[in-house]
């Protein structure tokens, strides 16, 4: 562990989220997400992976990335459900042929959307469970649990 980081931990900061003495996050601002993407493109070219993508990228982040890429992200994994539709990024990804994968499609801890009145009404209309309605939202794919 670098001395600078060790000093922050000893000063009471969290090991994974160190802060500077002024309280701001101790981030490496010399490296950009675009540089990271370029490194991922190199890995893809080796054949060690079949696709590369992003997670939680907003439209401005994708707009900042796309002019610099050789390979467009295959997927953008975002939280997506009826209470957090994120229509702008869903539409943008569709326009750029970036697949959207939803995480937390049931509305986070405890699956609160299972008891949502609108979801329940749709489930009754289509004679399916609320989970089917939520998984069909925006016709997105859901990653298998633990397979990221």
90: which residues sit within 8 A by CB, 6+ positions away?
80, 100, 138, 140
Q: In this structure, what is the dihedral angle of CA atoms 113, 114, 120, 123, given to the nearest 10 degrees?
A: 110
Q: 42 and 76: one domain?
A: yes
Considering only CA atoms, which of 67, 68, 36 is closest in space to residue 53?
36
Looking at residue 42, its pLDDT comes to: 97
pLDDT in tens, 25-51: 888 889 999 999 999 999 999 999 999
Question: Domain of 56: which CATH number?
Answer: 3.20.20.100
Name the phi and psi angles at 98, rounded to 5. Answer: -105, 120
Question: Can you give the pTM of this predicted structure?
Answer: 0.74
Full domain range(s) for residue 14: 1-30
Check pLDDT > 60 for residue 140.
Answer: no
Q: 1 and 13: one domain?
A: yes
Name the phi and psi angles at 129, rounded to 5. Answer: -80, 160
Q: 56 and 89: one domain?
A: yes
């Amino acid at each position: 562990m670098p001395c600078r980081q060790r000093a922050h931990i000893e000063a009471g900061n969290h090991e994974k989220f160190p802060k500077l003495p002024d309280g701001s996050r101790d981030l490496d601002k010399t490296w950009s997400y675009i540089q990271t993407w370029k490194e991922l493109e190199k890995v893809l070219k080796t054949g060690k992976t079949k696709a590369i993508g992003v997670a939680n990228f907003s439209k401005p982040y994708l707009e900042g990335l796309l002019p610099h890429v050789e390979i467009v992200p295959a997927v953008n994994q975002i939280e997506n459900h009826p209470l957090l539709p994120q229509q702008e990024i869903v539409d943008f990804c569709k326009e750029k042929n970036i697949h959207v994968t939803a995480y937390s499609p049931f509305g986070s801890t405890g699956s609160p959307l299972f008891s949502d009145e609108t979801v329940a009404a749709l489930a009754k209309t289509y004679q399916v469970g609320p989970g089917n309605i939520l998984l069909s939202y925006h016709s997105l794919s859901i990653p298998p649990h633990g397979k990221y």
